[in-house]
Amino acid sequence: MKKLLLIGYKKPWLTLLSIVSITLAALYPASRVHFDVTGDGLMPDSSPELDQYQKVRQTFGSDEIAGVYISDFRLTSREKLVKLGNLHKALQKLSSVQRIESLFSLPDVKLDEGWIDFSSLLHPLPESQEIINQKIDDALTNPIFLRNVISPDAQATMLVVYLEDEEKYKESRQETYNQIAAALKDYEQYFEKIYQVGGPALEVQIYDFIKNDQLVILSLSVLALFILLALMQRSWVAGLIPLVNAGFATVWTLGAMSLLGVPVNMLNYIFPVLVLIIGATEDVHLIHEFRTQAGKKPLDKHSIELMKAVSDRMMLALLLTAITTIFGFSATGISSLGVLQDFGFATSAGMVARFVMTVFLVPALLKLWQPRARSSSKSSENQENKTKSSFIAEWIVRFMLPRPYLLLLVVTVTMISTFYFIPKIHMSNDLMSFVGEDTLLVKQVNEAAERLSGTKVLYLTLYGEEGDFRKPEELRRVERLTEYLRKLPEVNSVTSFTDFIGRTHERLNEKPELTMSYSRLPNKASTLEQYLLFFNSGDLQRYVSGDFSKLNLTIRCHENDSSRLREFANELREVIGNGSFGSIHFTLTGKALIVAEAVDSVIWTQVVSLGSMAVLLFFISSGLFLSFRCGLSSLLTNSVPVAAVFGIMGGAGIPLNVGTCMVAAVTLGIAIDDTLHLLVRFNRKLTDLKSEKAAVKAALEKEMGPVVATSIALAGGFMVLSLASFEPVRQFGYLSAIVILLALVTDLLLTPVLFGSMRLVTLWDVLDLKLRKALILRSPFFKGLTSWQAKRLILVSDLEEYKAGTQIIKTGDTGDKMYVVLSGRLQVSKPGPEGAIRLATLRMGDVFGETAVIAQCLRTADIIADTDIRLLMLDREALGRLRKFSPFLASQIFLNLTSILGRRLADTSERLRQITA
Amino acid sequence: MCKSQAIFAAQDFIRKSFMNTKSISLLILSFILTTSLVLAQDDTNASGQLIPAGDEVMEQFTIRQAVSSEIALISMVTITPSGQQETREFFSIYYRDQEEISYLIRMISPEAVRGVSLLGKGMDGKMSDQFLYLTDLGRVSKVRDTGRSVYFLASDFTYEDLINEIPDHFEYQRLADEVVQGVNCFKIKATPVEEKVKSGYTGRMLYISKDKDYNLLKAEFFGEGDKLIKTFEAFDYHAAGEEIRTMRPKRAVMVNHDKKTKTILTILGDRINFNLDPAMLTPEGIAKWSGEQDEALLSALKGE
């Protein structure tokens, strides 16, 4: 694994050429990546509700609709209506427009002085203003028109444009928007307000947001990162390398997305920024380490040995941080929502590509660039930073380590406050609210909704037997339900099949009263059948199925709060389901409702992504440091800031949505990196310094700078996202920044407290330790242990190395340590009148000094190194630690020690017996 | 009188009788076609235009509709966008009395709509008046011509499709011939003259066979932006006349691209040039129409 970094360093041009070639190959698919700006990704990719909705759409037709809102004080004047009629015609000519519902096209059967008139309300447009006024008055009493195509004050109207649902048109909704916009341009001068609302307008808005955000956020990130890194590293090349890497990684990712059909959507469009910022930290670590090693090593700074040294120190950290980060992002994709799946793919693929760049391209560029070595601790700035780090480290060790309960108290209080606020978090999944209340489009939609009807369309579908809904008695029940719905405050308008029949019946019976009550459906089935002859089945498709077994009520309301929309839907289901309108089999669906009800998927994503991330981190930490306690502690350290952010969300009224549900998993994956860096450093220092406190202090001194710098850089990077146009992205940005900063605090304070008393061994240490099998087989101390256990035992203990001739034990000294010979040879002797009497030779695997560990006693012999030696040293403290953290291992060791001591006793007894005999 | 003279005389008679009116009943009335008297032969005139020109083709097409009366029993299946079907049956009656032309659509099934009628009354060269009779309302109402572009009989035919077409109200332009159903056809573009007619269509494309029968095989209807709204096709033409050869399709389909619906018409029986009481084809007549009269028409169709 460590050799990976050497590949790019050994063959820089080949590496560079390969990466550039792959990038060029990826450019073409990358340029053709698909943009999903529909908001369909906010719906679960499969669910019973979605199946139901699709069935409803299949039966009652597509709801691919654009709207043109027009308002004018003199809207109903003939002069304005002529223009409106011309606009209707102009729009009808557009290739992507299937048909238009408006004052000029909706059916309006009427009987007038013996004449039956099937013409639409205003088509052809009457010559007389008086007749026009009469017709408008008619429309205001007709639920097919009122609030659907004309406002109650008759000063606003909507042209409801049904779009072709063929794929070729679906894929070019922006083209449709532009066509409609071009048509509207000619009419802007005639009306006070005229604009588009609906699907294409929203899609164009989302597309513009994505485009503008890329321009602003990405440019800002690139510029800020370049300046920051160039200043920090005192080299513009050092600032440029992360940008180049991020650029290549972005092209690769876009290419992969294009080839696998993953679109760019309203969430994952930020992946280049994330790749840039998060990936840059690893590049900086690598470049920094390279330059540090170049300054330290008395080697040719561009020799392969230099990169080997860098690799030895960095590869493990690089790999671990890459794994945790990639998993953190991919965990967000474990969701039934397409928008999150696409985010998970784009960001994790981006991080994989970024890791490849860091491992292969950075060494290649370092070789080609040949940076200046970093002067170690000579500059006054370095000295100053070190002093600050030392001061804080000293404070932590002196003040915090002795008072762990103080910190735990603070954590407990924080957690209690957090858990108080967490239940107050509300859910949100609503496209319009994501776009933001301040945008022009949302303001326009709100205005149109206020004067006409809201954009939230619910379909209340009633089910019966074939032909049921051509029976007058059934339709009267539907009519009662329709009237009930119209009285609900949440409802702007309801359109029902009964409106068409009721209105026709009313008009053909020459009943002049114009009321909103339509209880005058025909009594006779034959009358109803005869009215049905007036309608093409296509006109009624949206309201009743062809076999009259299903009937669809179209309910329009204006509720941007998805929770409220859900509540309303549930209330409605309860009222209809409790039999108030007879026994009705029904479903209530609609795109807006499915999106609103997808908050369950958001919660599920939150639970699964956070849960899986926590499990992964636990196992990584436990595995890396071979200790479940360590796994739990590192998880706790990083869970505190994540939990705190949930508290902040609850307290500040920030909803759980597709953006905020990613914060926990993503930041957990990133925040753990600093913890791992600290622990790895702590482990190394502990090996060197043999003292936990000293190791904590040294580790903090060494890591505080990079940890603080990367945390601030990451938090700054996430904060840049708060400039995004989409609310969930903004919230994701600043909440992630908060977690990263809180994690910095817990890393610096909580980590030393939790780990300060642990003797950590890394998996890598164990794997790297070369232990001869003969040692385990020969030594009574390692009896019954596997090679793995023996290595762990060696690593938690202290290793001591001595030169030949060194005296290890002196007769008469008081000892408390025992030793196991790992390599080399020692002589055991006793001082005699004629010089030392050689008693024995100790070799690999032999144990000595064990009695002193059990009971402090005087040494009875001299032991001197005959060759250079390596010893495993254990004292009571070490054994106590072993018993505490590795009870199984300790029990075996104690058994072995007992056995060794027993044999010693037996030997001594035998010797005594021989002397006395 | 030699044969050619006889043909000429017959042709002249038809010209006199029908060319003044130039009535072309499309769709349902397009089933009423007359014997071919001339064979079409293409040529070009001095300015390079195809001969016969569009209006000449239409003139020949018109000539072939020369019958004094006709009755047909038609089954109509309407197919909804989601594929459900509904079947209705009606009589289609055409009757000419001097310069007055009458046509009637009278529903006979299902029972709930039996008797619902649409009557068209028109004089040569003038727009028809239309009258609607709903049995349950017990009243005949005159249909305003402003609403004729809406659909009738829950089908894909509009009221406009049923009225007599006045050729003066349209410009007929002949385009390059095309093959429809394997038959070489005249392709005629019919564009309404706006100041004369209020049509729901911006134009139509008519495909008329170039054989001696001048059968209308296909018609396309265009709306705003020259968007194809509907396509009509007639199939299985056969000779139906006794005295003179009259071609009739057995089946016709109207596909509505706009509404995603379809209407299939099948001729269950037809008869031409038979005696009919003109009083039946009046607003009063359709209101008083009885079941016995339906039976009588059915018997007439069976040749009883």
Residue B18, pLDDT > 70, answer no
Residue B157 · residue B254 · CB < 8 Å: yes
Interface list for B 256-295 with A (CB within 8 A): 256, 258-261
Say what the pLDDT of residue A226 is.
Answer: 87
Mean pLDDT in residue range A245-260: 95
**Minimal Cα–Cα distance from A497 to chain B, Å?**
15
Which residue is closest to A115 within chain B, CA to CA? B142
- Among the partner residues A61, A89, A547, nearest to B84 by beta-carbon distance: A547
**Minimal Cα–Cα distance from B292 to chain A, Å?**
21
Residue A42 is classified by DSSP as: G
- Among the partner residues A98, A115, A530, nearest to B144 by beta-carbon distance: A115
Mean pLDDT in residue range A439-445: 88
Q: Given the structure tokens 């001696």, which residue do they identify?
A: B212
Residue B160 · residue B148 · CB < 8 Å: yes
Phi, psi angles (nearest 5°) of residue A721: -65, -20
Phi, psi angles (nearest 5°) of residue A457: -105, 125
Average pLDDT, chain A: 85
Average pLDDT, chain B: 78
A530 close to B (CB below 8 A): yes
Q: Which residues of B touch A546 (CB under 8 A)?
A: 80-86
ipTM of the complex: 0.84
Q: pLDDT (tens digit, 9 = 90+) per residue, A341-382?
A: 999 999 999 999 999 999 999 999 888 877 766 655 445 555
Phi, psi angles (nearest 5°) of residue A187: -110, 0
Contact A537/B259, CB-based, under 8 Å? yes
B228 close to A (CB below 8 A): no
Q: Which residues of B touch A536 (CB under 8 A)?
A: 151, 154-156, 256, 259, 261
Query: Which has the closest alpha carbon to A550: A60, A206, A15?
Result: A60
Q: Given the structure tokens 């104690």, which residue do they identify?
A: A894
Judge residue B139's burial from the number of C-beta atoms within 10 Å of its C-beta, 0-12 exposed, 13-18 middle, 19 or more buried.
middle
Q: pLDDT (tens digit, 9 = 90+) per residue, A649-663?
A: 999 999 988 889 888
d(CA A352, CA A502): 63
In b/e form, how buried is each residue of A902-915, taking b as 16+ CB within 10 angstroms? eeeeeeeeeeeeee
Residue A93 · residue A573 · CB < 8 Å: no
Residue A39, by phi and psi: left (phi above 0), alpha (psi -120 to 50) or beta? left
- Residue A89: in which H helix or E strand, if any? helix A78-92
Q: Which residues of B touch A107 (CB under 8 A)?
A: 150
**Minimal Cα–Cα distance from A125 to chain B, Å?**
10
Residue B64 · residue B35 · CB < 8 Å: yes
**Residues forming beta bridges with residue A557, ordered by sequence position:** A456, A491
Residue B7, pLDDT > 60, answer no
Query: Which has the closest alpha carbon to B272: B41, B77, B23, B71?
Result: B71
Contact B259/A527, CB-based, under 8 Å? no
Sheet holding A835-842, edge to edge: A807-809, A862-865, A826-832, A835-842
A752 close to B (CB below 8 A): no
Judge residue A437's burial from the number of C-beta atoms within 10 Å of its C-beta, 0-12 exposed, 13-18 middle, 19 or more buried.
exposed
Half-sphere exposure of B91 (CA within 13 A, CB side): 28
Contact A536/B154, CB-based, under 8 Å? yes
Q: pLDDT (tens digit, 9 = 90+) per residue, A537-549?
A: 888 888 999 899 9
Structure confidence at residue A195 as a pLDDT band (50, 70, 90): very high
DSSP string for residues in A836-863: EEEEEEE-TT-EESHHHHHS-EE--SEE
Half-sphere exposure of A383 (CA within 13 A, CB side): 3
Contact B81/A61, CB-based, under 8 Å? yes
| Dihedral sign, Cα of residue B51, residue B54, residue B59, residue B65 | positive
Provide the CA A365 distance to its chain's centre, in angstroms.
31
Say what the pLDDT of residue B87 is.
Answer: 94
Mean pLDDT in residue range A186-196: 95
- Residue A462: in which H helix or E strand, if any? strand A456-463
pTM given for the model? 0.77
Q: Which residues of A touch B143 (CB under 8 A)?
A: 115-118
Which residue is closest to A59 within chain B, CA to CA? B82
Mean pLDDT in residue range A599-628: 84
Residue B78, pLDDT > 80, answer yes
Residue A30, pLDDT > 80, answer yes
Pull the structure tokens for residue A700: 């903090």
Q: How many other C-beta atoms can be found within 10 angstroms of the C-beta atom of residue A188?
A: 11
Phi, psi angles (nearest 5°) of residue A866: -90, -30
d(CA A635, CA A329): 17
Structure confidence at residue B285 as a pLDDT band (50, 70, 90): very high
Which residue is closest to A537 within chain B, CA to CA? B80
Contact B151/A536, CB-based, under 8 Å? yes
SS3 labels along chain B: CCHHHHHHHHHHHHHHHHHCCCCECCHHHHHCCCCCCCCCCCEECCCCCEECCHHHHHHHHHHCCCCCEEEEEEEEEEECCCCCEEEEEEEEEEEEECCEEEEEEEEEECHHHCCCEEEEEEECCCCCEEEEEECCCCEEEEECHHHCCCEECCCCEEHHHHCCECHHHEEEEEEEEEEECCEEEEEEEEEECCCCCCCCCCEEEEEEECCCCCCEEEEEEEEHHHEEEEEEEEEEEEECCCCCCCEEEEEEEEEECCCCEEEEEEEEEEEECCCCCHHHHCHHHHHHCCHHHHHHHHHHHCCC
Residue B127: which residues within 8 A CB-CB, separation 6 or more? B145, B163, B164, B166
Q: Poorest-confidence range of A126-140, A502-516, A771-785?
A: A502-516
Residue A751: which residues within 8 A CB-CB, separation 6 or more? A633, A634, A637, A675, A678, A679
Which residue is closest to B257 within chain A, CA to CA? A98
Interface list for B 24-83 with A (CB within 8 A): 78-83
Half-sphere exposure of B128 (CA within 13 A, CB side): 29
Q: Which residues of A touch B107 (CB under 8 A)?
A: 533
Nearest 10 degrees: Cα torsion B286, B290, B293, B297? 70
Half-sphere exposure of A284 (CA within 13 A, CB side): 26
Q: Which residues of A touch B80 (CB under 8 A)?
A: 537-538, 541, 545-546
- Among the partner residues B82, B112, B144, nearest to A59 by beta-carbon distance: B82
What percent of chain B stands above pLDDT 70? Answer: 78
Residue A713 · residue A795 · CB < 8 Å: no
Q: How many other C-beta atoms can be found within 10 angstroms of the C-beta atom of residue A144?
A: 20
Mean pLDDT in residue range A615-638: 84
Q: pLDDT (tens digit, 9 = 90+) per residue, A832-858?
A: 777 778 888 888 888 888 888 777 777
Provide the CA A459 distance to its chain's centre, in angstroms.
33
Q: pLDDT (tens digit, 9 = 90+) per residue, A210-251?
A: 889 888 999 988 998 888 888 877 778 888 889 999 999 999
Contact B259/A538, CB-based, under 8 Å? yes
Q: Poorest-confidence range of A331-345, B4-18, B119-133, B286-300?
A: B4-18
Residue A162 three-state SS? strand
- Residue A110: in which H helix or E strand, if any? strand A110-112
Which residue is closest to A104 within chain B, CA to CA? B147
Contact B225/A94, CB-based, under 8 Å? yes
Structure confidence at residue A302 as a pLDDT band (50, 70, 90): low
Structure confidence at residue A757 as a pLDDT band (50, 70, 90): low
Nearest 10 degrees: Cα torsion A717, A723, A727, A728? -10
Say what the pLDDT of residue A228 is.
Answer: 82
Say what the pLDDT of residue B28 is.
Answer: 43
Q: Which residue has the higher pLDDT, A532 or A295?
A: A532
Mean pLDDT in residue range A746-754: 85
Query: Which has the closest alpha carbon to B197: B131, B121, B143, B128?
Result: B128
Contact A92/B225, CB-based, under 8 Å? yes
B156 close to A (CB below 8 A): yes
Which residue is closest to B149 within chain A, CA to CA? A119
**Minimal Cα–Cα distance from B227 to chain A, Å?**
7
Say what the pLDDT of residue B287 is.
Answer: 92
Q: Which residues of A touch B132 (CB under 8 A)?
A: 116
Helical H segments across A626-662, by residue range: 628-652
B163 close to A (CB below 8 A): no
Provide the CA B17 distance to its chain's centre, in angstroms.
18
